[in-house]
Amino acid sequence: MNHGVDVIGSREDPHASIRAARGLPLMLHSLSVLREQFEIVFAHRKIKKVVEVGVESGQVSSIYTELGADEVYCVDPFPSDELRAALAEHPRLHLVERASPEVLAELPVADLYVIDGDHNYAVVNAEVSWITANAPNAVVVFNDLLWPCARRDMYYQPSPLPESDRHESSDQGPTVFHDELTPAGLVGLGAFTWAVEAGGERNGVLTAVEDAVEAAGADDWYLEVVPAVFGFGILMRKTAPGADKIMAGLRPYTHSKLIATLEANRIALYSRVLQMQYEAVAHADDADRLAESINAQRYEIDRLRAELDRVTHEADELRRENDRLRDPVSAMPVPDLTSAARNLKRAAGHWVKQARQG
């Protein structure tokens, strides 16, 4: 077998293979997962300068230097503090805090461009058009050439694009369960929005690449996709150094129906998780609303009970007052006849005693 304990596990450590998975995010989306494919590119092509467009956490950037690149220009207009700190540790990784495509002309021409920044037609079409015109022998790698970005624009926020370059967009996200956007889909949570409609012209990352390649003369270019991690695309001019070998090396991945099926299944499962999370939050909100309503009703019941006690007490008072007014005699204090009788008896006894003595 080709694989080691980290894939198969062993009798002594049956969980070895899955332990690494515990540390991975629920939905893999980073190109860092595709190290094996980058190794094929670097094996057949001398790559010294890399322009990485869209860096996010920076977890891919150091792979390029590990594989032999001298300089990596890490372009991201919205770098986090973690990214700044991570890149600062590597002298060969240069943070370029600017937006592509404008910045491309200001950077050295690279051997490898990794395009994973703003995921929409206007930006990606301009990026590929610039590269095919100015660095035609470069290897160009993309992320997100498949669903959901292939035929639907995504716009990082705030979007610098003029309205004429944007489709109507929404905070809701795509799902595998139907064609429309939904709040239970892959939503951007303020970081990005999605075009409301998918398909048609000038919409989506793959459409942008296809149009740019068409304009550069489609027959002169290879464009292939590894159907994993949302679509790892590779574009090379057929006459560029290493092009045939790289395409041949990637062929087991670019032509694998198995990988495509697993990817579609992975995305379907993740969509299901997102939907369940959305439903769980909606149910929790319902439960909160119900608890609030029960509390308000309890408070009202207590208030009504107190009011009832007060009114009952008042009614008792009135009833007693009424009784007193109706029967003034019975309302008079009752004389103490017992002690009067006792006094009379004592006086009589005294008189009798006196009469006997006299």
Ligand X SMILES: C[S@@+](CC[C@H](N)C(=O)[O-])C[C@H]1O[C@@H](n2cnc3c(N)ncnc32)[C@H](O)[C@@H]1O
Minimum distance, C-beta of residue 141 to ligand X, in the bound complex (Å): 10
Q: Is 56 in the site for ligand X (CB under 6 A)?
A: yes
Residues 73-102 as x/- pattern, contact with ligand X by CB under 6 A: --xxxx--------------------xx--
Minimum distance, C-beta of residue 101 to ligand X, in the bound complex (Å): 7
Q: Is 123 in the site for ligand X (CB under 6 A)?
A: yes
Query: Contact 140/208 with Cβ under 8 angstroms?
Result: no
Instruction: Tell me how many residues contact ligand X (CB under 6 A).
Output: 22
Query: How far is residue 46's CA from residue 111's CA, in Å, rounded to a whole number?
Result: 8
Query: Hey, how many other C-beta atoms are within 10 angstroms of the C-beta on 10?
Result: 12
Q: Which window, 8-16, 71-79, 235-243, 279-287, contacts ligand X (CB under 6 A)?
A: 71-79
For residue 140, the cross-strand partners are 113, 235
Please, which of residues 211-250 interact with ligand X by CB under 6 A? none
Query: Contact 65/35 with Cβ under 8 angstroms?
Result: no
- Residue type at 11? R
Minimum distance, C-beta of residue 124 to ligand X, in the bound complex (Å): 10
Minimum distance, C-beta of residue 38 to ligand X, in the bound complex (Å): 11
Query: How far is residue 147's CA from residue 112's CA, in Å, rounded to a whole number?
Result: 24
Minimum distance, C-beta of residue 144 to ligand X, in the bound complex (Å): 7
Choose which of 38, 64, 69, 116 interacts with ligand X (CB under 6 A): 116
Query: How far is residue 42's CA from residue 27's CA, in Å, rounded to a whole number?
Result: 27
Number of residues that this document lists for the chain: 358
Q: Is 50 in the site for ligand X (CB under 6 A)?
A: no
- Residue type at 164? S
Q: Is 53 in the site for ligand X (CB under 6 A)?
A: yes
Diameter over CA atoms, the chain: 162
Q: Is 54 in the site for ligand X (CB under 6 A)?
A: yes
Query: How far is residue 315's CA from residue 128's CA, in Å, rounded to a whole number?
Result: 88
List Cβ<8 Å contacts ≥24 apart for 254-259: 254/224, 254/225, 254/226, 254/227, 256/227, 259/226, 259/227, 259/228
Minimum distance, C-beta of residue 207 to ligand X, in the bound complex (Å): 18
Query: Contact 265/63 with Cβ under 8 angstroms?
Result: no
Minimum distance, C-beta of residue 192 to ligand X, in the bound complex (Å): 8
Cβ-based nearer residue to ligand X, 41 or 243: 41
Q: Which window, 63-71, 114-122, 290-298, 321-329, contacts ligand X (CB under 6 A)?
A: 114-122
Choose which of 44, 73, 112, 118 interacts with ligand X (CB under 6 A): 118
Query: How far is residue 196's CA from residue 172's CA, in Å, rounded to a whole number?
Result: 8
Query: How far is residue 13's CA from residue 34's CA, in Å, rounded to a whole number?
Result: 26
Minimum distance, C-beta of residue 116 to ligand X, in the bound complex (Å): 4
Q: Which window, 50-58, 178-186, 200-208, 296-304, contacts ligand X (CB under 6 A)?
A: 50-58
Q: Which window, 49-57, 173-181, 207-215, 295-303, contacts ligand X (CB under 6 A)?
A: 49-57
Of 104, 121, 123, the residue nearest 113 (C-alpha): 104
Positions touching ligand X (CB under 6 A) are 30-32, 53-57, 59-60, 75-78, 99-100, 116-118, 123, 143, 156
